[in-house]
Amino acid sequence: MQSNGYKKRLKKPIIIILSLLTLSCGVPSFTTSLSTLFERESIRVGTLYGAATFYNGADGPQGFEYELLAGFADYLGVTLDLYPFYSYEVLLQQLEEGNLDLVATGDAVTSDLLARFDYGPAYQHVSQQLVFQAGTAKPRSLNGLEKPIVTVSGSSQAHILNEKLSDESLLNPNMLITTEDSDSEELLQQVANGDIAFTIADSNRLALQRRRFPNLAVALTISKDIPIAWALPRSQDDSVKAALIEYFGTVHQSGWFTALEDKYFGHIRQFDYVDSRAFNNAAETTLSQYKSLFQKYSGELDWRLLAAMSYQESHWEPEAVSRTGVRGLMMLTMDTAGDWNVDDRTDPEQSIRGGSRYFASLVSRIPARIREPDRTWMAMAAYNIGMGHLEDARVLTERQGGSPDLWVDVKRRLPQLRQKKYYRTTKYGYARGDEALQYVENIRRYYDSLVWLDEQGNI
């Protein structure tokens, strides 16, 4: 195969439902695709590099698809042998030849791909959109485009456009270009930079990239509500597919899938062009004045997270004052400033030092059983509305059958803190919980942008 595998063995394997196999005295009576995985003690998975699929981050392997795949290997109790590819065509060929057990690219399922492969259950649905650079002429239809659409060879976007060719009135075949030299994310960047005029992107990838390139605009929605699922070889039996159905049913029922989806996509699906552009401009200009201070006082925190909080609080204006009287880069109250030895809230160094130490103290007060990144988002909400109101939201969450330890559940109850029928039952009463929710989601978007800008060397 083309790529070196990334091996991952997870702890605490779960024994899957025995009805997936025909058993005799606890041993399969015949060989199935699933029993082969058990005998091999590994599952061979192909994927593509990308922000939403798999990449090696500072803390190890990351990506929405990677975490789902790691969970499936854990579910089976086998090693995850992950093979990242650079080419769709080579990847799919390896699956057809039986060198891979499944393929997970976060790509949509099209009719011609369905003719070649079997698929597990759909776990997301996306739209396919024609993307152009804001400020240039917006096309009204696919017919009559003056410049070509560029897509990645073998991708679902290329397949969808080829399907459109069956209707000659919709698309001129000379206006289609496919490439293996760039991936989908790079094509979006090329549109933003004006290097190419158009590409097709699914709504997930576009949402991720628009935080980095606010001038990406949607001209047309080509296809709506297309399923995303993992591909399986048509030559094998249905035992692995049955295991996938059980796995996705389990992770949906437990709430883990919802939490994972929120981690990668929940904060970016709402897009504000003006805010995103203003933030990126400020990050490349104003932030340099305070970057060293955020780094100096970050401690165990990520300095870019503190910087994102500061932008949300004050837009990096050291003299900023809110309607409630909080002041400075980190918008400290008089009481908080006193608690953390801040004499002058408008002094950038004192404000950053006090704000970072106060936030670190909130993180430490979140129950230890709450995992990252949930504990950070909850501490951030507490920075905005106070720990007492956060606890009220967690109590409401538990009363209503949600998990008080999952941010994706707690954030849904924060707006209830300003509704009388809910806040009158809480210990600390009324709070602007909807603002705290927006506060956290904004910071998460700013943080993602800062991480990317930092990796590009732009801040």
Which residues on adjacent β-strands are paired with residue 48?
85
Is residue 436 a contact partner of residue 452, using CB atoms and an 8 Å limit? no
Name the 3-class secondary structure at 117: strand
CA–CA distance, 459 with 451 (Å, rounded to integer): 10
> Could you write out the DSSP letters of every residue in 55-100?
EEETTEEE-HHHHHHHHHHHHHTSEEEEEEES-HHHHHHHHHTTS-
CA–CA distance, 116 with 339 (Å, rounded to integer): 65
CA–CA distance, 402 with 391 (Å, rounded to integer): 14
As a whole number of Å, the CA-based R_g of the chain is 25
CA–CA distance, 390 with 378 (Å, rounded to integer): 7
Q: Which residues are catalytic?
A: 313
Measured N-to-C along each axis, helices 273-285 and 303-314 cross at an angle, to the nearest 10 degrees, of 120
CB-count exposure of residue 171 (10 Å: 0-12, 13-18, 19+): buried
Structure tokens at 132: 């152009």
